[in-house]
Amino acid sequence: MIVKKTSMPILTGRQWRSHSIRPVQKNMMRRPRTFLYNKRGARPPSAESTRWHFFFSVCFCVAAIGHANCDLSGQAPDPTVSQPAGSPPQYTIVLAPGHGGAPSTQKEDKWDPRTRSYLGRYLYGDIYKNIHEHRLVLPLSMELQRLLTLTESAAGWQEFEKILSQFSTQQKFPRIVLKSHLTRTDSYDDHNFSKQDDRNHAAWRLYDYPDARTGRMQPGRLSRINALKPWLVVAIHTTPAGRSQPGGMGVVLAPGYQTFNTLRLISLGQKSIQSFYRMPWADKFLITDRGWSQYEGARSDAWVYFHGWKTRGGRSLRRWPEMNRGLRQNMLTWRYADPPGWEKLALRNEAGPYSTVHKNFRATGPFWDRERGQAEAWRREGGPLGYGGDNYYASDQLLRYVQYGARLQSSQLRRKGALNGIIKPFVSAYTLPTYVNAINAYLEIAHTNRSKDRQLLEKKYYQQTARSLAVGIYALFQQISLKPGYGPWRPRAAALDFKKYADLPGGNYFEQVVK
């Protein structure tokens, strides 16, 4: 929903508090807050008729017949490969500040076409005292988008070069255009929706969903992201820390077909359980249920990945009937959804891609062809860091730029113990890293309940953090030489190899995500 900005006011004082730490208030009777959008001087859409909601409804319908080519600004996205002679290379970036919808007490998210029902509550995000994750990450994301927009004009590029010069020993930098978009610029409590109003969640749902008034399917965030055909998606979240966890920042990763198929073969007795423990991320899988081991968590993730259901812990290899997670590849609008009529086939539970048991599962269909392909192996398996693919490299690199940039820009943050470091990744069958073709840098940039972490997102340092991320995003596309020092988490030197995705025999992988 973003937009071409030439400038954006810096949030200070009262404005800052309203964005980051304001308590949630129910039925708030005030006018929505004003943000700058892609068109100069435009104000946020009204509660009754949101501009972006209408626009993506159109995109959704068009995509359904195979001709989607839409942008958040209402125009066709600029091509990223064939630019006019002499123009700088252009890359589409999506910034995804976490959450934004209202807390829910019943199932009102994750619409499942198979059962025609919602499968879970809306994931509101973390809360610590009166600090809410969805508010904490938004000012940083908006400032980051403002900085990336500088690359779109010659005058703005001069300002962006000055920022690069703060970090680098170089005198000149190859120009690229980072065409950036935000998934949201507000939250549900910027509006005065009644408590029962479905619009408390609609704009911020992850998957496609039926309009509460008309019943027509609407695109969720995943479909809107994919409609832009981005090269890079940067998700910005925070997470809670347990009593013994001092804090830090980490990344979220989703394994690919190779890892999950190994887990399936272990369950079928065709591979030893040692195959799991030899995996480089065996000790990083999320333990989602109390009393489970990491192997049991990973095994349950494999069931969700292949069948759309969790399995119970212990020795059980049966699905958990109350834990339907849905066949997620068919819960969004993109190239890899199964053809119409798949719902009836899935209800038969026959051998094939819709079987709910491992031994009868067959990896056939457009999604499974994608999952077993080279591009997904590059994105999510192996890679420069040994596992996690290019998603891990991009995510880790951006966190390193935050660490490096914080110390470079602030003498106070160079003091010993002023910052927590980078912790090990969170690994599970996460949605966003899986269901986009873009490189996904999914950042848990702070622990909400640790002030040492939170300071990087709050008034004093959030602009510095945004500059660090902007330089890091540039460096993923174009290698730069950094100033010495400012350790211990210095970024790695190499840029990411995006070209291999653009040069695949079938065409640019990032642009293939929708028909």
Average pLDDT value for residue range 298-326: 77
Share of the chain above pLDDT 90, in %: 75
Residues 6+ apart with CB under 8 A from 184: 1, 97, 100, 138, 203, 204
Q: How confident is the model at residue 356 (pLDDT cuts 50, 70, 90)?
A: confident
The whole-chain average pLDDT of the chain stands at 85
Average pLDDT value for residue range 128-147: 97
Q: What is the pLDDT of residue 34?
A: 29
Q: How confident is the model at residue 357 (pLDDT cuts 50, 70, 90)?
A: confident
Residues 6+ apart with CB under 8 A from 261: 363
- In this predicted model, which residue has the larger pLDDT, 23 or 221? 221
Q: How confident is the model at residue 259 (pLDDT cuts 50, 70, 90)?
A: very high
Ramachandran angles phi, psi of 386, nearest 5°: 95, -25
Residue-wise pLDDT tens digits, 163-197: 999 999 999 999 999 999 999 999 999 999 998 89
Q: What is the pLDDT of residue 86?
A: 77
DSSP designation for 441: E
Average pLDDT value for residue range 133-161: 98
Q: What is the pLDDT of residue 289?
A: 83
Q: What is the pLDDT of residue 83?
A: 56
Q: What is the pLDDT of residue 378?
A: 98
Q: What is the pLDDT of residue 311?
A: 76
- The owner of tokens 């120009």 is 175
Least confident of 151-155, 223-227, 355-359, 397-401: 355-359
Q: What is the pLDDT of residue 45?
A: 39
Are 437 and 227 a contacting pair, CB within 8 Å? no
- Beta-carbon count within 10 A of 284 CB: 18
Least confident of 34-38, 251-255, 307-311: 34-38
Average pLDDT value for residue range 400-406: 98
- pLDDT at residue 391 tops 60: yes
Q: What is the pLDDT of residue 104?
A: 87
- pLDDT at residue 327 tops 60: yes
Residue-wise pLDDT tens digits, 17-61: 344 433 333 333 233 332 323 333 333 333 333 444 444 444 444
- In this predicted model, which residue has the larger pLDDT, 48 or 497? 497
Least confident of 39-48, 85-94, 285-294, 409-418: 39-48
27-30: which pairs have CB atoms within 8 A and are 24 or more residues apart?
Answer: 27/192, 27/193, 27/194, 27/195, 28/189, 28/191, 28/192, 29/192, 30/192
Q: What is the pLDDT of residue 309?
A: 83
Q: How confident is the model at residue 10 (pLDDT cuts 50, 70, 90)?
A: very low
Q: How confident is the model at residue 363 (pLDDT cuts 50, 70, 90)?
A: very high
Are 514 and 226 a contacting pair, CB within 8 Å? yes
Q: How confident is the model at residue 322 (pLDDT cuts 50, 70, 90)?
A: low
Q: What is the pLDDT of residue 5?
A: 32
- pLDDT at residue 85 tops 90: no
- pLDDT at residue 209 tops 50: yes
Average pLDDT value for residue range 415-443: 97
